[in-house]
Structure 1
Amino acid sequence: MSETVVRGRRARWSARASAPSRAKAVAPVGPGVLDLKAFPAAKTGLPLWPLTAMFGLMPVWWSLGIWYFAWPFFGLLLFVLLTARGKVRVPAGGVPWLILLGIVLISAVRLAKVTQVSVFGLRFGYLCTAFLVCLYVYNLARDQVPWGRIANPLCLYWLSMVMLGWLGVLAPKLSLPSPFLLALPDGMANERFLTDVARIDATEFNPVSANPIYRPAAPYPYTNNWGTAYAFLVPFVLACLTSLRSGPMRIALLVSLPLSIVPAFLTLNRGMFIGLGAGALYLLGREMLRGRVRLLLPVALILLIGWLATLFIPVVDLITHRTSTTDTTADRFDLYRQTWAAVLRSPLLGFGQPGSVDTTHAAEPLGTQGMTWQVLYSHGIPAVLCLYLLLAVVAWRMAAAVTPTGLLLSSLPIIAVAVTPFYAFIDPNMSVLFFAVGLGLAAVDGPVNRIARVAWR
């Protein structure tokens, strides 16, 4: 019979015990194996294949050019399945989520043109899908579906992202229209936003530069999106490695983690480094305050691998070269200043969406270059306050974690807060973040079926 930790005391669950509706801390310690006789699996009625189709088959949707457009439809599928199941449990943060979605929807009245409705609807769909992914994952985990099986689609997503990152390293000039883009009428195919999200590009670079820097971006249209996903997924991958003791997926994750450092460094994403640094400091600070050092070794090992990579990849020199030739920092601060001045003209509901969907070529793409600024400009001050309230509530609840797996996942809202001033993630990355958050919230809210010594299938 295994044991669980509840607010610092050990409690042995009898075979007749029933799963509590809201436990006080993350479930297993030691090997992390719950007695499944004490907590029999529920008839969930929620299949895993929608998550596999969304996350595991991401390279297929990207190669067809429909990934960004299909994502909200996957969210609609999750909504139908959750509604059909009924008795949906809502984790911490549900109320701020719903308020945020309501404010965003109302802000549509501020759109200047009818033609902007489609792009607004797409972004609103990304937000709704992220909320539904969190609900779906949370309910699967609370219904005792094996933790590893639920995490498997996001692990496949990580492996695909690393593979496509290496595509940018080995074939940086790869750029061709997708089948979806070729099928569009000429008028629609010339729209910059459609070209960006539906084109097959391995890297992002400035085409007018005499000496362009090719930064891995695939499957995303912009390299900053790749860096944001990387910052969200690294703690998740480490959490999986602490939970899984054997099996092919563990081997794949162990191999992919050091391999991912090369494309990650070549993105030159300063915000990515800031986010991961904030997460590492949070974890180390928590452990040191509690007099524990068990996370020092893996964090130190990752830092060592990163330092060794800099011996072969001149990251600092590349970033210095980029900032000295593009004035990217000065451009960002100028955008922030102009964005804030514009928000003061419509502080409650913003302007519905950013000033331009093109963050590279527009003269003044207000409301871009950061999640904070996008939400602030597009949906107003109440919306951005609600976003930070959501992340604060999630961080507070996930801070109850006590196992290495739970602790690593608890760094996700901290990383999200750290990157919000620099990178926006109202796209599939929002779902990536809240997929992992859903797993973490389920673990602190009650027993989960986390079998550490069985290979994932």
Structure 2
Amino acid sequence: MRGPAWPIGALLVGYPVWWALGFGGLAVIVLAVPMGVLLWRRRPIRVPRGFGLWVLLLAGYLVSALMLAESPPGTYGELGPGRIVGYVMRLALYAAVLVMVLYLGNLTEQELPQLRLVRMLGVLFVTTVAGGLLGVFFPAFAFTSPLELVLPDWISGNSFVQNLIHPTAAQTQKVLGYPMPRPEAPFEWANAWGNNVSVLLVWFVVGWWVYGGRRHKVFVAVMVALAAVPIVYSLNRGLWIGLGLALAYLIVRVGGRTRAVLCGVTAVAALAFAISPLAPLVAQRLDKPHSNDIRAFTVSATIAAAGHSPVIGYGNTRNAMGNHRTITTGKTQWCQGCGHPPLGSDGQLWLLIITQGFTGAALYVAFFAGAIRRHWRDRSPIGLAGVLVMGLVLLYMFVYDGLVTPLSLYLISYALLWRNS
């Protein structure tokens, strides 16, 4: 893309290149630099209503650094490089998406048409489906990225950083009682793939079906059918619930002929899925609520730990003593399944509670809930889709971390709503 809008094209359309280089979701931090320069040249800068909440969230995260050396009761660990690296990366991401929203909102319709931005998100959806199919059929695919080669071991060896810079096709887990690959390419982990594919699906349908011709609609039908394979093999209940609620939202909010068509297509798709070989896999997953006990333990431990610093949190995650099975911390010869789950790793809400206290969590909820309130009356396709995504954000915060790539997609969707008004 030429002109001042090129950074967003480089981020969305060029995302596979960033992933192969090892940047992936960190690409928005790199591209925030030229976005900030372009934005600075456009002074005065327009700011959307409610954006002060995000500024307060960022300011609160700066203050939470005061607690990085502390560990609440029930946790362990000392201040070290890993904790500092994680804090700095999250801070950079929060600042980068702030710049990105302002950059998008200050571009004119001529410089970056709304439909072009929506369709670029649709291109990333196609990339996501391709990555999901790669994870299903070639789950062992992985390689060492150039960024991974040049980073020092004390940074690249950090588990959080390793997930970001080491490209892999799938994440293998014993969700069904035996090792099962879950698609994650081109994102950082399997849950991020599930989160992102649902958000991108919304914009793909708007850009290429609602505003597309006959050939576009055929392309959408083919891509959605292909996407069903990795969506099922992701074994991602949060994704399945999100898609179901998204469909219910659209049926309620659209009217007349569109509602009737949507109900008919849903019925046909449900019947086709029921007789497909994918249906038994969904049934197996629902019969094995593999992560329920783990999530219950980490959520309760997170809330208890945050109670000792409820206003500013602890700046970063903490390791719990023991897990849902035993008080033993870490693996032993007699308990290979024992571990120390990081508090705040089971959803953005819980991450905010441990890192920024209940204050940070309240600011995050208020930011996205405020966007829904302000734009609820916008019944254009982009308005309906944007409000839907804001609703998915509030749903997914209970089960998915917003870091790293999901947060960028959330804020691009927020910018689309702002531009639409």
User: For this structure pair, what is the TM-score category when the shorter chain's length is used for normalisation?
Assistant: 0.7 to 0.9
Distance change >3 Å, CA 384–CA 70, structure 1 → 2: same
Matched, 1:333 2:296: yes
Residue 266 of structure 1 is aligned with which of 225, 233, 250?
233
Q: Which residue of 1 aligns with 2:258?
A: 294
Q: Equivalences for 1:56-67 in 2 at 5 Å?
A: 56-67=13-24
**Structure 2 length-normalised TM:** 0.85
CA distance in 1 between counterparts of 2:175 and 2:285 reads 19
Deviations 1:80-109 (A, max 9, x none): 211111232222331211111111221121
Q: Equivalences for 1:50-199 in 2 at 5 Å?
A: 50-112=7-69, 113=79, 115=81, 116-140=83-107, 145-199=112-166
Q: Which residue of 1 aligns with 2:72?
A: none
CA distance in 2 between counterparts of 1:415 and 1:185 reads 37
Report the Cα offset of residue 193 of structure 1.
2.1
**Considering only aligned residues, what root-mean-square deviation do their CA atoms show, in Å?**
2.8
Matched, 1:344 2:344: no
CA distance in 1 between counterparts of 2:193 and 2:80 reads 31
Matched, 1:277 2:244: yes
Matched, 1:312 2:277: yes
Report the Cα offset of residue 264 of structure 1.
1.1
Residue 355 of structure 1 is aligned with which of 297, 315, 318?
318
Q: Which amino acid aligns with 2:365?
A: Y
Q: Which amino acid aligns with 1:168?
A: G
Distance change >3 Å, CA 248–CA 425, structure 1 → 2: farther
- The answer (yes or no) to whether the contact 1:59–1:219 under 8 Å persists in 2 is yes
CA distance in 2 between counterparts of 1:151 and 1:80 reads 24
CA distance in 2 between counterparts of 1:282 and 1:418 reads 13
CA distance in 1 between counterparts of 2:382 and 2:170 reads 33
- The answer (yes or no) to whether the contact 1:409–1:437 under 8 Å persists in 2 is yes
Report the Cα offset of residue 138 of structure 1.
2.7
Distance change >3 Å, CA 300–CA 367, structure 1 → 2: farther
Distance change >3 Å, CA 307–CA 93, structure 1 → 2: farther
Distance change >3 Å, CA 100–CA 409, structure 1 → 2: same
CA distance in 1 between counterparts of 2:151 and 2:239 reads 34
CA distance in 2 between counterparts of 1:52 and 1:351 reads 36
- The answer (yes or no) to whether the contact 1:367–1:377 under 8 Å persists in 2 is yes
Report the Cα offset of residue 145 of structure 1.
3.7
CA distance in 1 between counterparts of 2:198 and 2:388 reads 10
Q: Equivalences for 1:230-245 in 2 at 5 Å?
A: 230-245=197-212
CA distance in 2 between counterparts of 1:55 and 1:374 reads 26
SS in 2 for 1:294: helix
Q: Which residue of 1 aligns with 2:331?
A: none
Q: Which residue of 1 aligns with 2:184?
A: 217
Report the Cα offset of residue 306 of structure 1.
5.0
SS in 2 for 1:214: strand
SS in 2 for 1:201: coil
Distance change >3 Å, CA 129–CA 349, structure 1 → 2: same
- The answer (yes or no) to whether the contact 2:194–2:236 under 8 Å persists in 1 is yes
SS in 2 for 1:220: coil
Report the Cα offset of residue 114 of structure 1.
5.5
Distance change >3 Å, CA 362–CA 139, structure 1 → 2: farther
Distance change >3 Å, CA 106–CA 416, structure 1 → 2: same
Q: Which protein, 1 or 2, shows the higher relative CO under an 8 Å CA cutoff with sep ≥ 6?
A: 1
SS in 1 for 2:378: coil
Report the Cα offset of residue 350 of structure 1.
0.8
SS in 2 for 1:205: strand
Report the Cα offset of residue 270 of structure 1.
1.0
Report the Cα offset of residue 52 of structure 1.
1.2
Q: Which structure 1 residue ranges, 5 or more long, are not aligned?
A: 1-44, 446-457
Q: Which amino acid aligns with 2:342?
A: P
CA distance in 2 between counterparts of 1:375 and 1:361 reads 25
CA distance in 2 between counterparts of 1:60 and 1:344 reads 43
SS in 2 for 1:204: strand
Deviations 1:328-380 (A, max 9, x none): 111111111111110101101111011259x9985131111001100111111
CA distance in 1 between counterparts of 2:253 and 2:118 reads 25
Q: Which residue of 2 aligns with 1:435?
A: 412
Counting matched residue pairs gives 393
Q: Which amino acid aligns with 1:191?
A: N
CA distance in 1 between counterparts of 2:357 and 2:91 reads 15
Q: Which amino acid aligns with 2:184?
A: A
Q: Which amino acid aligns with 1:369?
A: D
Q: Which structure 2 residue ranges, 5 or more long, are not aligned?
A: 70-78, 324-336
Report the Cα offset of residue 391 of structure 1.
0.9
CA distance in 2 between counterparts of 1:183 and 1:207 reads 33
Distance change >3 Å, CA 150–CA 140, structure 1 → 2: farther
